[in-house]
Amino acid sequence: MFLNSIPIFLLFFLVMPFSLIMPWKIIRVFLLAIPIVGGFQILNMELGSSYTINFMGLNLELVRFDKLTRIFSLIFCLAAFLGNLYAWHVKDKVQQVASIVYSGAAIGAVFAGDLVTLFFFWEGTAIASVFLIWARRTEGSYYTGMRYLIIQIISGLILLMGTVLHYKETGSIAFTQFELQSLASWLIFISFGIKCAFPLLHNWLQDSYPAATVTGTVILSAFTTKLAVYALARSFPGTEILIYIGAAMTLFPIFFAEIENDLRRVLAYSLNNQLGFMVVGIGIGTEMALNGTASHAFAHILYKALLFMSVGAVLFRTGTSKASELGGLYRTMPLTAIFCLVGAASISAFPLFSGFVTKSLIMDQTADQHYELIWFVLVFASAGVLSHSGIKVPFFAFFSHDSGLRPKEAPKHMLLAMGLTSALCIIIGVAPVILYEYLPYEVNYKPYTSYHVINQLQLLCFAILSFILIKWFKMLPKEIRSINIDSDIIYRKALPMSLAYLVFGLKKVIKSITEIRNSFGYFIITILQKLIGSDGSISRIWSTGNMVLWIAIVLSLILILNYSTI
């Protein structure tokens, strides 16, 4: 096949020049066909193949294909296909081109064998994806997109700095495993961390994903953060600090998700929490833990996309995704409700659903490597996932009180996309071997043991029991039209305000300096006025005798001074 000789990401960029002349109806066919062709291509590629070009004296490895690349590029193709199917109705060429170029850049980054190529695609994903936010075409989305773009570009620039330093130190630009020692490796680590939404670097995610278009959020949810997970798994496996970062990531979003009103933002928090599990897996760094990370990323992309699709369908039909405005939609959107429940069961890791067979690989390794505290945190976080993604999202959108809204069921192509994604979630859950075969290392793990199934059911069912009781006593956090401040207040309010104060202060200082200068100037002028003004003491006509006297005094002073120095 001739495609063997060209890097797959080029396929995705093909649509760009065509989009200028072709109508949207034809482009959307390409949007579905390209990921399919790309996916088959990946399945047929030989492990270990590579494609290098020489560019300005650097050997750029555009294609480096191993098992880790395979699983991530496969799921990216699958996500691109499902996302584009969901967006079948979108007539906006900007969104069409952005989504295909974005997924192409993400796949290109996964194939990159060196840091320069990685940087190129790293920024590519940033620039392409921001159009999915701007495509909403409102003032709010413009500003949100700007914030998103700035943070993503900064992440890329830090990666570039790290690459340059690394090249200076070692003479190599290979994108392989790094020890977290030199400044260069720290820079690369932080760059990955920004895209991976590490705690305190995370807010771009919750800020921007709910601001994108209905379909844009589905596509956004798949690539950027999982690309960062891939990059971390490639470069920093077994870096212990990642275990603690990951554990923190699983924890704090739970509480924010619980009180968030916008369901798409709830899902963004929950995405953050799921990334935490993957990061813990990378931090542990054993073969099975990395298998866990890769498989969890795979399953996560599917069920997270499914959840974003179902809430997106609600937004598409009702114009809002706010929990306070929704409720009782099961009456007219029953299929969407079922798909949402499948996504909820998958993310909560119910047996027979995808999350169960992937998350447990990570949990098991945490226990095996004796990280007791981390294990308790992860079990806690599993109950947390259930609370916001498993219960809150489907409950407040489709059940709960009747909002009075009677929207029509989601359009057919959306239902098809959600149905396919649901089917994949269940297939992975029922027959995990299919997924395990594509993992980076050999899998020696059986998820369906009696103790594992029963323990997981105990955890989840008793959590649900707690929910029922709390609901019974009407003590659930109320759905209020509101937002919650997070660490983004630092750069959205605190910094601009302190900058404003700083400018205000500086202006004051400058003003007082001017005043002092002015008054000093006035002082000088009045003295000069007195001395040499029209009747100043100097400008008066003096007698010659006086003049001679003064000259004599001055001369004698000079003489005295001269002699005293000899």
> Which of 73, 129, 141, 274: binder of another protein (CB under 8 A)?
141
State the pairing for strand pair 50-55/58-64: antiparallel
Q: What would the two tokens of residue 113 be?
A: 């064998």
Closer to another protein by Cβ: residue 143 or 438: 143
**Which range touches another protein (CB under 8 A), out of 24-32, 80-88, 170-178, 330-338?**
330-338
Beta-bridge mates of residue 53: 60
Residue closer to another protein by CB (options 331, 511) is 331
Among 24, 51, 244, 467, contact with another protein (rule: CB under 8 A): 467
26 or 454: CB nearest another protein: 454
Q: Which of 198, 162, 178 is nearest to 238 (CA)?
A: 178
The label of the residue with tokens 């590490």 reads: 198
Confirm if 346 and 382 have CB atoms less than 8 A apart: no
58's enclosing H/E stretch is strand 58-64
Decide: 413 and 89 in contact? Cβ < 8 Å.
yes
Only segment of 56-64, 191-199, 440-448, 474-482 that touches another protein (CB under 8 A): 474-482
Residues 423-452 close enough to bind another protein by CB under 8 A: 449-452
| Minimum gap (Å) between residue 79 Cβ and another protein | 22
Task: Show contacts with another protein in window 340-369 (CB under 8 A).
Answer: 367-368
Work out how close the CB of 431 gets to another protein at its nearest, in angstroms, rounded to a whole number. Answer: 23
Q: Which of 139, 109, 113 is nearest to 126 (CA)?
A: 109
Query: Which of residues 179 and 368 has its CB atom nearest to another protein in the complex?
Result: 368
Binding window for another protein (CB under 8 A); candidates: 53-61, 167-175, 282-290, 453-461: 453-461
The rounded distance, in Å, linking the Cα atoms of 145 and 212 is 8
**Residue with tokens 């709830």, as numbered in its chain:** 266
- Regarding 325 and contact with another protein (CB under 8 A), the answer is no
Contacting another protein within 173-212 (CB under 8 A): 207, 210-211
Residues 259-278 binding another protein (CB under 8 A) are: 259, 262
Q: Figure out which of the listed residues 49, 176, 466, 556 binds another protein, where binding follows CB under 8 A.
A: 466
- Bridge partners for 322 per DSSP: 262
Q: Does 21 sit near another protein (CB under 8 A)?
A: no
The nearest distance, CB 308 to another protein, in angstroms, is: 15
* Coil, helix or strand at residue 19: helix
Which of 434, 446, 477, 547: binder of another protein (CB under 8 A)? 477
Measured from the CB atom, is 59 or 482 closer to another protein?
A: 482
| CA–CA distance, 148 with 140 (Å, rounded to integer) | 12
Of 193, 131, 417, 205, the residue nearest 302 (C-alpha): 417
Q: Is position 481 an interface residue for another protein (rule: CB under 8 A)?
A: yes
Site residues for another protein, window 27-86 (CB under 8 A)?
none
Integer angstrom CA distances of residue 235 from 66, 169, 230: 14, 17, 9
Does 331 bind another protein (CB under 8 A)? Our answer is: yes
Assign 3-class secondary structure to 274-338.
HHHHHHHHHHHCCHHHHHHHHHHHHHHHHHHHHHHHHHHHHHHHHCCCEHHHCCCHHHCCHHHHH
Of 115, 315, 418, 443, which one interacts with another protein (CB under 8 A)?
315
Binders of another protein among residues 383 to 412 (CB under 8 A) are 383-384, 386-387, 399, 406-409, 411
- Residue number with CB closer to another protein (28 or 136): 136
Confirm if 1 and 86 have CB atoms less than 8 A apart: no
Binding segment (CB under 8 A) for another protein, from list 47-55, 179-187, 197-205, 379-387: 379-387
Answer for which of 40, 376, 504, 522 binds another protein (CB under 8 A) is 376
To the nearest whole angstrom, how small is the minimum distance from the Cβ of residue 276 to another protein?
15
**Do 84 and 250 meet the contact criterion of CB atoms below 8 Å apart?**
no
Q: Which is nearer to another protein, 378 or 435 (CB)?
A: 378
Query: Is 485 one of the binding residues for another protein (CB under 8 A)?
Result: yes
If one asks whether residue 334 binds another protein (CB under 8 A), the answer comes out as yes
Distance CA 365, CA 113 (A): 28
List binders of another protein among 488-547 (CB under 8 A): 492-493
Q: Which amino acid is at 259?
A: I
- Binders in 201-260 for another protein, by CB under 8 A: 207, 210-211, 213-214, 254-256, 258-259
Cβ pair 334, 344 in contact under 8 A: no
With respect to another protein, which residue has the nearer C-beta, 352 or 383? 383
Cβ atoms 277, 246 nearer than 8 A: yes
If phi > 0 it is left, if psi is from -120 to 50 it is alpha, else beta; for residue 404 that is left
| Binding residue for another protein, selected from 192, 330, 356, 445, defined by CB under 8 A | 330
Residue 490, token pair as written in the block: 């630092």
Q: Please, which residue, 183 or 367, has the CB nearer to another protein?
A: 367
User: How many residues sit close enough to another protein to count as binding (CB under 8 A)?
Assistant: 81
Distance CA 523, CA 529 (A): 10
Residue 466 CA to residue 395 CA, distance in Å, equals: 15
Residue whose CB is less far from another protein, 117 or 382: 382
Neighbours of 482 (CB within 10 A): 12
Selected from 50, 137, 179, 442, the binder of another protein by CB under 8 A is 137
- 186 vs 399 by CB, closer to another protein: 399
Give the Cα separation of 152 and 105 in Å (integer). Answer: 14
> By C-beta, is 173 or 345 nearer to another protein?
345
